[in-house]
Amino acid sequence: MPLSYFTPVAAVGMLAAVFFAGAVAASFINCMQIRLQKGEGVWGRSHCPGCGHTLSPLELIPVFSWLALRGKCRHCGERISARYFLTEVIFGAMYAGILLRFGLGWAALEYTVLFTVLAAECLWDMATFEVPDVLHLLAAANFLLFLGTHPAPLVRLRDGFFTSLGFGAAILVTVLIADRLLHKETMGGADIKFIAVIGLYLNWAQMLLMLIVGCLVGIGVSLGYRAGWKKAFPFIPSLSVAVYFCVLAADPIIQWYLGLLEPALH
């Protein structure tokens, strides 16, 4: 149901609610990523890494707490990384964008879960240059879980399977050849798995657009941050931005492009 069906107040209320839900999800996933990387337990109260003070619920409100504390621990003054604030705002905006595009319904829920998993992959890739396989599996499971909410589930399953297999295999072969020619690893295994999983969700035209946009974003990011990522380059964030862009906006662009080709075909 598009948001235009609702009164403006209700629509803004829903957008604010999903923004906050996104910020809460970001806060949780950030915390999990950091704890698992440090080898700490997943459960337990959050604490300041500087003085060990256990954070009160008021200090744990996504977005607002970081702003209210001006990015510093209330007790020892240790700086709290802007990573928390930025991730929470990005997740919130990402959730709101999905609701704006799809309105209230199963599609919005399916893509919200997908992009939560992809955003988790981005956090892991940026921190460790690796992505746990369980995240790829979650993204694939989400596709299967929501199949029944689509008008023709078996057609979607067949198309998804072949797009995934086709793009996964094509990228794998290209990377193997490039690795041999250049004598170095050109693309990580996680990137190839990522592309195969996204093939479940996008059709071949959207996949091509996604790869073009992903490479353009990746080139832009690598130019800006070359100093920080010397030994490896996390490509999944660039690809995820491209997937988000394609899920929300690919169809009008592809139609416009095919429209340009139309006179040439006749």
Rounded Cα distance, 117 and 200, in Å: 15
Angle formed by the axes of helices 189-201 and 106-128, nearest 10°? 170
Say if residue 122 is exposed, middle or buried (CB neighbours under 10 Å; 0-12, 13-18, 19+). Answer: buried
The smaller minimum CB distance to Zn ion, of residues 40 and 78, is found at 78
Length in residues, the chain:
266
What residues have CB less than 8 Å from 46, skipping those under 6 apart? 31, 54, 55, 60
Binding segment toward Zn ion, per CB under 5 A, in 31-39, 75-83, 194-202, 237-245: 75-83
226 forms part of the interface with Zn ion (CB under 5 A)? no
Smallest separation (angstroms) from Zn ion to the CB of 154: 55
Shortest spacing between CB 53 and Zn ion, in angstroms: 5
Q: Interface with Zn ion by CB under 5 A: which range of 72-80, 175-183, 203-211, 216-224?
A: 72-80
Q: Pick from 25, 48, 241, 247: which binds Zn ion (CB under 5 A)?
A: 48
Per rule CB under 5 A, is residue 79 in the interface with Zn ion? no
Applying CB under 5 A, the site for Zn ion has a residue count of: 7
DSSP single-letter state for residue 39? T
Q: Please tell me whether residue 76 binds Zn ion under the rule CB under 5 A.
A: yes
**DSSP label at 242?**
H
* Candidate ranges 30-38, 43-51, 60-68, 185-193; the one touching Zn ion (CB under 5 A): 43-51
Q: CB 58 → Zn ion: shortest distance, Å?
A: 15
Nearer to Zn ion, 67 or 258 (CB): 67
Per-position b or e across 152-172, b if 16+ CB within 10 A of its CB: eeeebeebbeebbeebbeebb
**Alpha carbons 21 and 18: distance in angstroms, whole number:** 5
CB 33 to Zn ion: min, Å = 20
Q: Of the two residues 51 and 145, which places its CB atom closer to Zn ion in the complex?
A: 51
Tokens of 4: 């235009």
Measured from the CB atom, the residue of 83 and 101 that comes closer to Zn ion is 83
Sign of the Cα torsion 67, 222, 164, 186 reads negative
Among 75, 79, 158, 226, binds Zn ion (CB under 5 A): 75
- Non-local CB neighbours of 167 within 8 Å, separated by 6+ positions: 195, 196, 198, 199, 204, 207
Task: Pick between residue 85 and residue 146 the one whose CB is nearest to Zn ion.
Answer: 85
176 binds Zn ion (CB under 5 A): no
By CB under 5 A, residue 73 contacts Zn ion: yes
Binding site for Zn ion (CB under 5 A): 48, 50-51, 73, 75-76, 78
